[in-house]
């Protein structure tokens, strides 16, 4: 099966979200959104994308700061403050992504006089099935954090590679098993740790995939104005840039790049936006020929005043991802 491909041009800022130009060109005729107390379709979409990308940009910028921090094995002071902000923005990004699913559903619902008609529509049912697959991780994670007291925890492993000395950061969703706190068995059945930077791409890919399926639905129901529409989405482009400035690696889990190809396009005058100077980022890729060495993993658990047992682990593998 061929991986889906998504071209993203950070120079022009033209929206890579396939539903965006369709919504922009769409006539308001035949819409029942306002009768349901909703914004019109384009308004719902713009607000929703803005909410997700705003949280994602803030997350990526703090992760970049954390990679540049001097001691993340035992974070103290300002470094620990950044760690706590990262956790907050992971949760906020997951919440916003999960809410995006409801926003897309609201867009679709407004094209039908009654939900009973909507639920019988073949295009809507196809969209709902596709989105259910795309949302599985973000919706499950957001639900666990909100309703099951599952917390996001960070973990750090030091490495040496080609003269570079640094640290890689991962996260896990906390759970409890027989009184022992550790990675949740629901999310970490085989891999105890996920890459912190892959989460950003997971959310980016989620938005792109949902937008592609929404575009298919909209073509079946919408009445468009004549003429081509050029739509920009600077906020989404900024989110892509913020993610691309980070190193790309995984801890054995399926990286988003294994599921889809994101083709990043930038002019010579825009390349500086991608340059974070971080080893392993798009502008400073990992060495292809070297063999990196890794240290021990340090997990940033926090006590709850009662539990005394915590699970300590080591990632089964670490893989450096290369931009192609």
- Which tens digit of pLDDT belongs to each residue from 201-252? 999 999 999 999 999 999 998 777 766 788 999 999 999 999 999 999 999 9
> What pLDDT was estimated at residue 226?
62
Angle at 77 between CA 72 and CA 83, to 5 degrees: 50
Query: Contact at 8 Å (CB) between 225 and 201?
Result: no
H or E element: which one contains 142?
helix 136-147
- Which tens digit of pLDDT belongs to each residue from 82-138? 999 999 999 999 999 999 999 999 999 999 999 999 999 999 999 999 999 999 999
Dihedral angle of Cα 237, 239, 240, 243, to the nearest 10 degrees? 160
| pTM of the predicted model as reported, rounded to 2 decimal places | 0.95
| Contacts (Cβ under 8 Å, ≥6 apart) of 21 | 15, 229, 230, 231
Q: How far apart are CA 153 and CA 136, in angstroms?
A: 20
Segments making up each domain of the chain, as ranges? 5-320
The secondary structure of 145-171 as a DSSP string is HHHS---EEEEEEEEEETTEEEEEEEE
> 247 vs 66, 78, 285, CA distance in Å?
12, 22, 8
Phi-psi region of 227 (alpha: psi -120 to 50; beta: other; left: phi over 0): left
- Helical pair 234-244 and 41-67, crossing angle rounded to 10 deg: 20
DSSP state of 318: -
Place of tokens 């005043």: 305
| Contacts (Cβ under 8 Å, ≥6 apart) of 219 | 22
Across the strands, what pairs with 297?
Answer: 157
Query: Contact at 8 Å (CB) between 113 and 79?
Result: no
- Which tens digit of pLDDT belongs to each residue from 145-185? 998 888 999 999 999 998 899 999 999 999 999 999 999 99
Q: How far apart are CA 74 and CA 192, in angstroms?
A: 20
CA atoms within 13 Å, Cβ hemisphere of 182: 16
- What share of the chain in percent tops pLDDT 70? 98
């Amino acid at each position: 099966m061929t991986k889906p491909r998504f071209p993203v041009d950070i120079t022009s800022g033209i929206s890579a979200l396939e539903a965006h130009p369709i919504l922009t060109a769409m006539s308001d005729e035949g819409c029942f959104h306002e009768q349901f107390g909703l914004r019109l379709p384009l308004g719902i979409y713009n607000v929703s994308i803005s909410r997700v990308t705003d949280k994602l940009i803030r997350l990526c910028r703090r992760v970049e700061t954390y990679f540049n921090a001097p001691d993340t094995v035992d974070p103290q002071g300002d470094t620990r403050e950044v760690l706590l902000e990262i956790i907050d923005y992971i949760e906020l990004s997951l919440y916003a992504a999960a809410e995006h699913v409801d926003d897309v559903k609201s867009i679709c619902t407004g094209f039908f006089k009654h939900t009973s008609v909507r639920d019988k529509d073949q295009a809507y049912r196809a969209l709902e099935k596709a989105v259910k697959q795309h949302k599985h991780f973000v919706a499950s994670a957001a639900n666990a954090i909100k309703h099951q007291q599952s917390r996001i925890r960070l973990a750090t492993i030091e490495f040496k590679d080609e003269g570079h000395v640094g640290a890689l950061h991962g996260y896990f969703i906390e759970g409890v098993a027989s009184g022992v706190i550790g990675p949740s068995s629901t999310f970490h059945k085989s891999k105890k740790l996920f890459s912190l930077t892959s989460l950003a791409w997971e959310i980016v890919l989620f938005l792109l995939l949902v937008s592609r399926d929404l575009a298919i639905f909209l073509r079946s129901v919408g009445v468009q104005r004549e003429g081509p529409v050029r739509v920009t989405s600077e906020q989404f482009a900024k989110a892509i840039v913020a993610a691309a400035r980070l190193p790309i690696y995984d801890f054995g889990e399926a990286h988003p790049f294994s599921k889809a190809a994101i083709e990043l396009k930038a002019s010579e005058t825009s390349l500086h936006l991608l340059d974070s100077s971080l080893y392993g980022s798009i502008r400073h890729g990992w060495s292809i020929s070297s063999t990196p060495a890794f240290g021990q993993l340090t997990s940033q658990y926090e006590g709850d005043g009662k539990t005394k047992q915590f699970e300590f682990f080591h990632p089964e593998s670490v893989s450096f991802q290369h931009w192609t």
